[in-house]
Structure 1
Amino acid sequence: MSAPTEGQVSLDMPPALALQGASNWQQRVSRYAPVPDYLAAVTAALGFRLPPRAAMWVDAASGVLWSGSAGMSELGNMQPRSLPATANNVLNAGAGLVSAVAPFTSGATQAALDYAGSVVWELSAFATIGRAAFDTSNSRVRRGLAAASGAANVAAAAFAAAATRASQDNDSATAIRYGTVSSGLWIAGTTLSLVADCMASRTAFDETSTTATYQPAQRYAFNETP
């Protein structure tokens, strides 16, 4: 039998090694979770500037990307699994799904779904702030970055709700303005979270021996328990 290539797990491997191989694969996928998150924010901003038919598909794509980012993030949440981080990822995935469905509805139903997505987003953002405030296992800087990320998303969700209200009032100029601000804050929140992750990865690298193979810390590492 040929040796397994990188990322594959042999059936002859001991359970511990097989588990480590799966863990390494999940960590690698998790590292790229910010990519669809950024794309989701950018496409959300574009949706406000496109004709209705094109905007429908772009907005749906934004929601799918958002949910995908949450799923990728959850892949890296392991050994030990952080239940608060899982809750955050579930909320973000739910908000993304709502955002993906809403464009295919209209009128009051669409507005209700948009508001629901904003509320779920707010809950996720406040949960991030709460975890950062009480997680004493990490440095103040990383906790501060996590809290700032949550605060940016609190504001982003509020502006998204305001954009929905403006759309209901047929004030397209205001809706575009609020939607753009919301997307900008979303990007800022993702960037702050990514910086916290990079700091966690740097710490993980420093704590290994000089001959150890570098393995990045799990995504949203400020949720780890000691």
Structure 2
Amino acid sequence: MHKDIEDLRKKAYIAYQGQDGPDAVDRILRKLQVPGRQLNNYELKQVQNYIIKDVFLNRFGVEQAKGYLRMDTSHVPGYHPFDEAPQEKKTKITVNLKVMQQIAVVLTMLLILALIFGFFYTLTFNPITTCKGKTGEDRDICFSQQAETQTDPAFCRQINTSFHRNKCYLKIAVKTLNMSLCNQIPDKPENAEQVKICVTCIAKKLAQPSMCERLGDSVRINFCENQVNAQYSFDICPK
């Protein structure tokens, strides 16, 4: 920057008691597209007059402005010379900030849309709502499929038919090796086979013959222990 303009910046720093002065000068310089240009004497004089009028005379009046313009600026503590680089960096930062703000707005909108979509999807495709809309065996099969897909025994409780409900608990119990789910199958004569398979499959997969004792009667216990100990074995466990 030309030394005469730099001198005016220093005087503006003193007059404004801080960086507001040079900033006011810099706004004029950029408005006149001075940075980066080689000014001839005429152009330099025009720029100086513009700065003096706008920064000093309009702000402080003639007499006070004259006082500031006569000041010695050989040593101005705290003053920073004009430098185009920081402004360029500032411009880049400003541009980047705007881009980031735009990205943030887009991401926020996408998040809102995703939440709205998820809400309506849940309302429309809620498994429980979907299955409850069915009747008879279709309803039971629907809940059974949901239980297997999501490995969630809560769906089994929604099944009306005891056979399908017990079968649902059996599959989830064996899949998750959760013996407590076998207890959800009432140990009645009509369910004896399902209870036996449930306990036997888990005991076999865990290699724990002691679990067979849960079956109570000797016939089923022997069957279970033989399966676990592999004295004889055939595929009885649900896939």
Give the TM-score of the pair, scaled to structure 2: 0.21
Asked which structure has the greater RCO (Cα within 8 Å, sep 6+), the reply is: 1
Q: Which of these two proteins has the greater Rg computed from alpha carbons?
A: 2
